[in-house]
Amino acid sequence: MTLAAGPLWLIGCGNMGGAMLRRWLAAGLDPAEVTVVTRSGRGVPEGVRSVQALPREENPATILLAVKPQQIDTVAPMLAEVRPGLLISILAGVEVAALAARIPADAIVRAMPNLPVAIGRGVVALHAPALDLDGRATVEALAAPLGHHEWIADEAAFDAVTALAGCGPGFLFRFADALAAAGAALGLPADQAARLALATLEGSAIMAAASDVSPAMLADRVASPGGSTREGLNVLDRDDALVRLLTDTLAAAARRNAEMAAAAR
């Protein structure tokens, strides 16, 4: 399966768009098929054509819209006379209907990748109200090198998906930092605590992903009755403290995503 059938344009090439493009190139995408449209011209991989205005000599088969959500009304007029077969948008909070009202395309896919796509271990949530088998195959071929991908049937769930998977790496990075800070508070050198925290998270995540039991069961296996792990878990479990904290965290992120959706309508 080819990664892209025909020319692929990236509108924007920031942290996420650039990470996705680099993964596609590493997976065999022909750089000659790619055009990046960006005002700065920076951050574009070697061998990829970079322009500051839309090319007029061709129409793309696929466009990846990878600018900031607040820029949609700046970018959309540029694309008014371009009709790609497939428009993929990674704009947080911008719904398919809002995209369709501004940018003509035969098919529109809303995607929410998270930062680990840069190493091929990310999550990409996908939603399309109408997509034929060829279009679906193209999207899945593009998503596969980025990591785990799932189709979300109900677009209304995208705010929750964005909060969990899209924002999740930021929350986990903060947790890793807090775990290290807690170790340092107990007397470990800060740099050593940071190394131990990251290695612990990495190994535990790999183990959980490969396990045939839930993370809750794995936690119970680690925590022997009356042991030190159980004492620590009692703090996290008391009054559902950790669940309530993360529920509030995801709810705040989801609310902000809904606000951006409302602004783009």
Q: CATH assignment of 168-260, given 3.90.1150.10, 1.10.10.60, 1.10.3730.10, 3.40.50.20?
A: 1.10.3730.10
- In tens, the pLDDT along 200-235 reads 999 999 999 999 999 999 999 999 899 999 999 999
Neighbours of 56 (CB within 10 A): 8
pLDDT digits (tens, 9 = 90+) for 46-98: 889 999 888 877 788 999 999 998 899 999 998 888 888 899 999 998 999 99
- Claim: this prediction has a pTM higher than 0.75: yes
Distant-in-sequence, close-in-space partners of 6: CB < 8 Å, separation ≥ 6: 33, 60, 61, 62, 85
Summarize the confidence of residues 118-134 as an average pLDDT: 93
Task: Read off the pLDDT band of 4 (50, 70, 90).
Answer: low
Query: Which among 56, 122, 126 is positioned nearest to 88, based on CA atoms?
Result: 126
Q: 239's torsion region: left (phi>0), alpha (psi -120 to 50) or beta?
A: left
Q: Do domains 8-153 and 168-260 have the same CATH topology?
A: no
pLDDT at 1: 43
pLDDT at 158: 93
Which CATH entry fits the domain spanning 8-153: 2.40.10.10, 3.40.50.300, 3.40.50.720, 3.60.21.10? 3.40.50.720
Segment (H or E) for 149? strand 147-151
Domain assignments of the chain as residue spans, ordered by start: 8-153, 168-260
Burial 219-245 (b: 16+ CB within 10 A, else e): beeebeeeeeeeeebeeeeeeeeeeee
**Per-residue pLDDT at 143:** 96
Structure tokens at 157: 């769930």
Judged by DSSP in three states, 147 sits in strand
Give the Å distances, CA to CA, from 27 to 39, 75, 144: 27, 29, 10
